[in-house]
Structure 1
Amino acid sequence: MDKVELEHEKHYDEKHDAENALELNEEDDSPIEEVRVTISNTDDPQMPCNTFRMWFLGLLWTCIISFVNQFFYLRQTQISIGYSVVALLSLPMGHFMARVLPTRQYSLFGWSFSLNPGPFSVKEHVLIGTMTACNTGTAYAVDIVILQKVFYHSDTPFFGGLLLVFTTQITGFALAGALRKFLIRPAHMIWPSTLVTASLFRSLHASSTTESEEDQGRTSRLKYFLLVTLGSFVYYWFPGYIFPTIGTLAWICWINPDSIVLSQLTGSNGLGIGVIALDWSAASYYVGPLVTPWFAQVNILIGFILVAWIMVPWAYYDNLWKSKNYPILSADLFRENGSYWDKDQVLGPDGHLDPAKYLEYGPMRMDSFFALTYGVGFAGLTATIVHVVLYNGKELVQRWKSARLENEDIHSRLMRVYPEVPDWWYLSLFVISLALSFVACIVYDYMPWWAVFLAMAIAIFFVLPVGIVQAVTNQQPGLNIITEYVIGYILPGNPIANVTFKTYGYIVNVQALTFTSDLKLGHYMKIPPRIMFMAQLVSTLIACTINLVTATWLVNTRPNVCTPQGAPFTCRSTRTFYSASIIWGAVAPARVFGGKDDAWYSTVQWGFIAGAILPIPFWLLSRKFPNVGWLKLVHWPVLLAATSNMPPALPYFYTNGLALGFIFAFWLRRYRYDWWSRYNYLTSAALDTGVAIAGLVIFFALQAWDVEFPTWWGNPEDGIIDHCPKGSYAYNNEFNPDSE
């Protein structure tokens, strides 16, 4: 900032500190330690946030990331502009606008405003970040539109697709309003990921005048953030471009890389035992080692070991479901003899399953890891319900009966200054979204009208228990499996109805919790709720439109899109989405998990019962022995959801993330608390930011122009960067990929 802006900011701060700031005693703070060390317990209600600068930069970045992320979503090498990148780049833009925009007052319809009400504030910055964070991930329903046109050769009008995208994204927002008194206001619903974001914004807006006396003589948060971001940016060039092998050091496999068993157990494409990943993007992929509470990481570790390193090797080498004919970890589909299963051999011209062809060609098979993961996913779903009922049921009933919340902390009291969003705003939005959902599904033949009700019922039923798990543990059990499972039994052979039902049942739930997480960030940062509501809603509508326009443009203009011949637009994620439509929609779960047409995997459905039973004995023991603390920390929903992302996630992601978690979430917190309380969450944000910026620079400056680093041992020409070539082989390797 220049001298003029510094003087302007000093005058502004002095004025509002004297007149309006709410100063509180140190004792008047959050009862939660992680919140207390990260979030300020003061607020200035007069700080500008609903400004021209906020809307201009927020909508600008919404448009940019909606286009860029959707564009690269269809490419073989995907790239995404994330939250931290937008937060970092929008900061100088905000300061620039604060310097150059006129400060005079304007009047419009009796409303007085200024284009430049003062220095660029942290609240404006948070709103800009929130508008983009709502839409960092591309709209899930866009895949359905692509699926219809490219794979099923049906052309739904653009408006029909737009209604589908709008309703699946916005309905969840309407549900978020009902979750406020359960998941936002209670102090113990901390939402760990929001603490990282809050730490990032706090550091970016820190100055020497805001450092407390205890901080004097120590590295400022802003300086620390910039230094770690720079280090992360420089370092990522090695695993991301120059020396990718250091991201998958399968050193045990190097003892005998020609051994299939050793490769399966220790290779990065196998079970990853001993693999060292010197790559933050891999280690932080799922666990979130600096963010996720240590008790949750211990549950993840136990669940991971039970499934990936005990159940899977036992099932595989015992040849359960003829596992040895397939790789030990794969998302591909196979025939019984181990060759790849060709879906084109069993589908009719309309894309639906031909039962006669299916019986003639042979049933679909999968590897034991994939099948067991489904079973554990079933268990995680019922465990979530039972766990929340047992551990949180009494509290939920009390909160349901009373609009007056207990357990309010200082942040809830500070937010009383701002008018709350009326319930009728959320209710009206839900009614409108539901009505448009019926129009989209009935008029454009996505699925029957009753399926909309059923999908919404599943999303609503699970949103609170899943939200409680995520708010406490930073882990989100997904509903994609159960939604596919339910509609697959009810409407077998209809792939479009299957993926549409999944989108309404699963993504409405995800969107509700995404918006709730953003509302919690606004709660921590003292953003007026009504302004947050409008910022989220407007940005989401714009982002949905841009996502669909971009995808439609690419599909209509790129030759051979979503095929290997259409490289680089091979639509890797969309093709996975298509495979799911075949498994759960065309073939349907009765032929996979039922007893129809020689289905092998019916036993995994016992996971539903197992998940419902497992939390009960630990809850009973915790009540009988209340002084045994660890019993209360056994969290079966997290434990069973540990492997839900595998595949496509790989086991070494977990082991390396949990190793970092031990250092940061346990050792540093216990033995270097001063450092942890000041820098832990900031470190996570800085590492994410450095990797994201480096990834963008590497891609746009080099890889987009086919400029690859010279091949050498650390960047092998064959692309097998872990030097363990048989990790993806089958034990009975007659049908390995390189032999077909």
Structure 2
Amino acid sequence: MFFLGIGLSTFGSVLQEIFYFKPQTIYVSVVFLTVLAYILGEAMAFIIPRRGVVGRFLNPGPFNMKEHAAITLMASAAAQSALATEALAAQDLFYGGYPSKAAGVFIVITSQLIGYGLAGLLREVLVYPSHMLWPMNIPVTSLLETLHRDKVETRARLKFFYIVFFFMLVRLTSVLQYIFPVLEGVSIFCLAHQDSLVFTNLFGGASGNEGLGFLAISFDWNYIAPFGSPLWVPLYTLTNNFIGYLGCIVLFMGLYYGNVFSAQNFPFLAQELFDGASNGTNYIVYNQSNILNEAFEVDPVKVAAVGTPWLTASYLGYLITSNMGFTATFVHMLLWNFDDLKAGWAWAAPSNLKRVFTGDFWKFWANQETPEARNERKQNDPALDPHYKLMMRNLYYEVPLWWWGVVVVICWAVGLACLYVMKSTLPWWGFLLSTLLTVLFLLFFGAQYGITGFQFNIQPICQMLAGYMFPGKPLANLYFTCFTFNALQMGQLLARDLKLAQYVHLSPRSTFTVQIIGCLVGAILNYVMMITIVDNQATILKGIDGSNIWSGQNVQQFNTLAIAWSMAKDMFSIGGRYQWVTISYLLGFIAPVPLWLAYRVWPHPLFKYMNTSIILWYMGYLFVGINSAIGMYFVLGFIAQWWLRQYHPHLFIKYNYILSAALDGGTQVMVFILTFAVFGGSGKSRPFPNWAGNPDTSLHNLDYCAVNPAISS
């Protein structure tokens, strides 16, 4: 378990950090890691001798489901891209570097573990109740049970997995990624009309920040399924995503060609800050060093002399629609899912909240009751999950609250010291406030994620709060967001995986151990890979377009919002240049009401099926990255979730998740190999010679759409 857990943690964390610097952010598939762990675990159980003292110690029995689950949990904890590496990369690329490499490592580790510790302290709320389903665990739980239930059936499924995996690994991905990359996005319209920028903006999308990729065809699974496989996205979510996707195309084209926010003075898609002297034929990136003093704080006198920066209309469209989606989520759930919310928030009843203000509640280091008394109390609690009750009945040792408390306290103290060493400009009270907000966000958003499976992206919210609390301090904005948004994400991940451990009855102390180890391995390797990529690809990472291999779009948008919100009064406040970014929060409260009222008057199922909050979230989806594969995402998703599930349910149940894991696995392993072999991950790139299937992108984009001369120059 330790050998495979640490090995897959290493693989997953390195791969995830590589994906973070791709033109389209991609997530390492936990389903694939689960299947890979099974194959390797069965192989080790077969190969390692079983006889003798050494054999009995190394291979005492068959590879079982609990070992498998522990490996999956460790790899899942590691296979994350820490937001701290984004903050460090931004400081390295745009602020002249940071003063201490050692402090940088500990910033990454503590920002990950603080979220873990807080979620552990809140597990009575987020994990143990039966209504906290964490539905995203269902594919992994089903897969674990299936692989360890019927060996004959498992062998048949694994044979199918091997065929698809090795086809993707040896043939398809290596050809698509390296030899024949034009197949990443084939646009018939651009092939027919190669000198139109309108066609580039609408139909292009095979290169980073190129266009919207409308009606393009992609054969590269790497970009078809960047955020998760379409084969297991529920049809309801998929349909609303598709409506938002079409709305995004209309919105972005309307903003640009309507010249809203002076859109045509700037690129169609870009995440940089731009100078007001840009005029559509000459894009001038805003030189943030002209407005920062020696402490990297915004100087109002310099801003007055230089002027405030500008944003592209597409980026503003993303900010406006995602902000609306954020507030629309609350109203939508209150209108349509009130009964679910009422059950899910029973813990927030005044009688339960009253306990929080008692002294005994916070004495997590003290034993308030005997194990027997605690077990009896929990067995009689009707709100607790039956899986958890069964574990307690079998007398599993619980993780004491003080273990989680120690994790939080140590990480908080180390993190605070490192922030001052890094000259982050974030004051101690700001760091304390970030921790308190993380607790609040974890209670609300973690509970909603556990009930509904819908995860909120609160990063723009955190950057907005930091902008008003620390005006003129972009570095403080970066690190405040790191210790709120990142800690929340990691806390939700821990709670999700704690529920998975509960479903498979893995002991709590084993779960604690593997998650802490996975987090430490992942954080350290995240940092190592970030340093390697930033050192070798700095020029590309700071460019507007990036390339089809590397892109700094994540770091750029993180830094862009940090600078912009540091000038919130002039940029986003009411009366500012982009006041609609702030007003959009208010508009989001209103957005779900018309459909709800329409349903009350005319109860047609269509009104109930449309989720305004999800639609709004996806109306800004195409603001960045490689967009030529999004159409194929929806085609394959509808085939799996509608046609296959409805008309061939036996095939769906038998092969859908295995197929998804094989497609993810073959693609991601080959990307891992190619990154170090030919794409410059090790410092030296070896590009494939140009030919029709690998065109010279200085002349036209990868899909033969016209290149914007203002960007190419």
Fold match (TM-score > 0.5): yes
Of residues 313, 325, 346 in structure 1, which corresponds to 2:265? 325
Which residues in structure 2 correspond to 1:157-236 (within 5 Å)?
Answer: 157-177=100-120, 180=123, 183-184=126-127, 191=134, 193-202=136-145, 205=148, 208-209=151-152, 220-233=156-169, 234-236=171-173
**Structure 1, unpaired ranges of 5+:** 1-53, 107-112, 212-218, 730-734
Which residues in structure 2 correspond to 1:421-500 (within 5 Å)?
Answer: 421-441=399-419, 445-446=423-424, 447-467=426-446, 470-471=449-450, 475-500=454-479
1:567-586 residue CA offsets vs partner (Å, 9 max, x unmatched): 99999666852663354247
Aligned to 1:19: none
3-state DSSP of counterpart to 1:538: helix
Of residues 663, 673, 676 in structure 1, which corresponds to 2:639? 663
CA distance in 2, matches of 1:651, 1:509: 28
**Structure 2, unpaired ranges of 5+:** 353-377
CA distance in 2, matches of 1:619, 1:405: 36
Aligned residues: 660
Deviation at 1:625, TM superposition (A): 8.0
Question: Contact 2:77–2:494 at 8 Å: present in 1 too?
Answer: yes
Are residue 540 (structure 1) and residue 519 (structure 2) matched? yes
CA distance in 2, matches of 1:547, 1:529: 26
1:672-714 residue CA offsets vs partner (Å, 9 max, x unmatched): 1111122222221111011112223444455557544443222
Deviation at 1:115, TM superposition (A): 3.7
Higher alpha-carbon deviation: 364-373 or 544-553: 544-553
Aligned to 1:374: 319
Give the letter for the 1:398 counterpart: A
Give the letter for the 1:657 counterpart: Y
Of residues 577, 586, 590 in structure 2, which corresponds to 1:613? 590
CA distance in 1, matches of 2:180, 2:220: 11
Which residues in structure 2 correspond to 1:6-155 (within 5 Å)?
Answer: 54-63=1-10, 66=13, 83=30, 87=34, 90-91=37-38, 93-95=40-42, 97-98=44-45, 99-100=47-48, 114-148=57-91, 151-153=94-96, 155=98
Aligned to 1:294: 235
Deviation at 1:86, TM superposition (A): 5.0
Could you tell me the TM-score, scaled by structure 1's length? 0.78
Question: Contact 1:562–1:571 at 8 Å: present in 2 too?
Answer: no
Are residue 342 (structure 1) and residue 283 (structure 2) matched? no
- Shift in alpha-carbon separation, 1:359–1:250, aligned structure 2, 3 A: farther
CA distance in 1, matches of 2:42, 2:447: 38
Give the letter for the 1:139 counterpart: A
- Shift in alpha-carbon separation, 1:565–1:477, aligned structure 2, 3 A: closer
Question: Contact 2:118–2:404 at 8 Å: present in 1 too?
Answer: yes
Are residue 258 (structure 1) and residue 195 (structure 2) matched? yes
Aligned to 1:7: none
Deviation at 1:459, TM superposition (A): 2.6
Higher alpha-carbon deviation: 435-444 or 570-579: 570-579
Give the letter for the 1:332 counterpart: E
CA distance in 2, matches of 1:473, 1:300: 16
Deviation at 1:317, TM superposition (A): 1.6
Question: Contact 1:135–1:543 at 8 Å: present in 2 too?
Answer: yes
CA distance in 2, matches of 1:684, 1:582: 35
Of residues 661, 677, 681 in structure 1, which corresponds to 2:653? 677
Question: Contact 2:272–2:560 at 8 Å: present in 1 too?
Answer: no
- Shift in alpha-carbon separation, 1:281–1:189, aligned structure 2, 3 A: farther
Give the letter for the 2:62 counterpart: P
CA distance in 2, matches of 1:232, 1:323: 41
1:483-519 residue CA offsets vs partner (Å, 9 max, x unmatched): 1111112212212211010101110111011222222
Question: Contact 2:15–2:672 at 8 Å: present in 1 too?
Answer: no
Give the letter for the 1:229 counterpart: F
3-state DSSP of counterpart to 1:641: helix
Aligned to 2:220: 279
CA distance in 1, matches of 2:662, 2:198: 39
CA distance in 2, matches of 1:476, 1:210: 34
Question: Contact 2:48–2:58 at 8 Å: present in 1 too?
Answer: no
3-state DSSP of counterpart to 1:332: coil
Question: Contact 2:271–2:560 at 8 Å: present in 1 too?
Answer: no
Which residues in structure 2 correspond to 1:578-657 (within 5 Å)?
Answer: 580-585=558-563, 587-594=566-573, 599-616=576-593, 618=595, 629=605, 631-643=607-619, 645-657=621-633
- Shift in alpha-carbon separation, 1:328–1:77, aligned structure 2, 3 A: closer
- Shift in alpha-carbon separation, 1:683–1:86, aligned structure 2, 3 A: closer
3-state DSSP of counterpart to 1:174: helix
Aligned to 2:374: none
Could you tell me the TM-score, scaled by structure 2's length? 0.81
3-state DSSP of counterpart to 2:232: coil
Higher alpha-carbon deviation: 628-637 or 296-305: 628-637
CA distance in 2, matches of 1:528, 1:605: 46
Question: Contact 2:32–2:662 at 8 Å: present in 1 too?
Answer: no
CA distance in 2, matches of 1:420, 1:389: 35
CA distance in 1, matches of 2:549, 2:217: 30
Superposition RMSD in Å: 3.9
Deviation at 1:153, TM superposition (A): 4.2
Question: Contact 1:563–1:570 at 8 Å: present in 2 too?
Answer: no
CA distance in 2, matches of 1:185, 1:667: 36
Give the letter for the 1:256 counterpart: H
Which residues in structure 2 correspond to 1:557-568 (within 5 Å)?
Answer: 562-563=538-539
3-state DSSP of counterpart to 1:366: coil
- Shift in alpha-carbon separation, 1:432–1:677, aligned structure 2, 3 A: same
- Shift in alpha-carbon separation, 1:474–1:682, aligned structure 2, 3 A: farther
- Shift in alpha-carbon separation, 1:454–1:695, aligned structure 2, 3 A: same
State the structure with bigger RCO (CA 8 A, min sep 6), 1 or 2: 2
Higher alpha-carbon deviation: 251-260 or 75-84: 75-84
- Shift in alpha-carbon separation, 1:172–1:497, aligned structure 2, 3 A: same
Deviation at 1:94, TM superposition (A): 3.5
Question: Contact 1:175–1:512 at 8 Å: present in 2 too?
Answer: yes
- Shift in alpha-carbon separation, 1:696–1:161, aligned structure 2, 3 A: closer
Deviation at 1:162, TM superposition (A): 4.0
Q: Percent identity?
A: 28
